[in-house]
Amino acid sequence: MKQPAVYIVTNKRNGTLCTGVTSKLPQRIAQHRCGDIPGFSARYNCRILVWFELHDEMLSAITREKQIKAGSRARKLALIESGNPTWRDLYEELF
């Protein structure tokens, strides 16, 4: 099932953050966890899902991803901590 989503993965609490967008969040996070997505997230071992937001349409998800990426690190940290103050891995909650 396709469900547009924006997400943030990290390598550890207050570590490197990687923001992305996808139409299949469980599958995409599984790819991050296995290191199957080359580039920034693989280089910095970003495998822990700490934040996500579901959208009805891909265009709104892409717009939101761009907004988050354009924001400061402090804003990203605040976004994560507002919904996930312990930085637990949210991957299991997708099922």
List pLDDT tens digits, range 47-72.
Answer: 999 999 999 999 999 999 999 999 99
pLDDT more than 70, % of the chain:
100
Average confidence score pLDDT of the chain = 96
Q: Among candidates 59, 36, 60, 28, which has minimal Cα distance to 9?
A: 28
Q: For 12, which DSSP code? A: S
Q: How confident is the model at residue 38 (pLDDT cuts 50, 70, 90)?
A: confident
pLDDT more than 90, % of the chain:
93
Q: What is the pTM of this model?
A: 0.95
Gap between the Cα atoms of 16 and 95, Å rounded: 25
pLDDT of residue 47: 96
What domains are there in the chain, each with its CATH number? 5-94 (3.40.1440)
